[in-house]
């Protein structure tokens, strides 16, 4: 249960697939336009409940509470040996010698 004032992330659907603009590519039209927003919780709420947050810029946004104390998670994906080999070859081509 998140408490008022906690840093949280909420999720909301801005446009359903049928509401998307005509100029949007066909594959994009088939999915909703979604928004994830981080901010300070305005009232105690549990995950999955509707909640409102105030963002760092002062906007009041409502949605479904999906995360308490969210943090950045980032990855460049799994190791790809071919990319390492290509990098080594590029190093040798540009600078000569051996890349260690």
CATH number of the domain within which 50 lies: 2.30.30.760
Residue 92 lies in a domain: no
Is pTM beyond 0.85? Reply is: no
Q: What is the pLDDT of residue 99?
A: 58
3-state helix, strand, coil in the chain (%, to 5): 20, 35, 45
Half-sphere exposure of 69 (CA within 13 A, CB side): 3
Q: How many domains, the chain?
A: 1
In a domain? residue 8: yes
In a domain, 62, yes or no: yes
Across the 100 residues of the chain, what is the mean pLDDT of every consecutive 10-residue run?
98 97 95 98 98 97 98 87 91 78
Q: Cβ neighbours of residue 82 under 8 Å, at least 6 residues apart? A: none
Q: Residue 8: beta bridge partners?
A: 39, 68
Q: What pLDDT score does 100 carry?
A: 59
């Amino acid at each position: 249960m998140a408490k008022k004032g906690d840093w949280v992330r909420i999720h909301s659907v801005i446009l359903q697939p049928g509401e998307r603009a005509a100029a949007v590519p066909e594959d994009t039209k088939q999915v909703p336009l979604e928004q994830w927003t981080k901010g300070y919780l305005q009232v105690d709420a549990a995950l999955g409940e509707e909640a409102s947050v105030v963002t760092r810029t002062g906007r009041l946004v409502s949605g479904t509470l999906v995360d308490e104390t969210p943090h950045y998670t980032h990855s460049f994906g799994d190791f790809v040996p071919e990319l390492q080999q290509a990098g080594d070859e590029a190093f040798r081509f540009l600078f000569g010698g051996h890349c260690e």
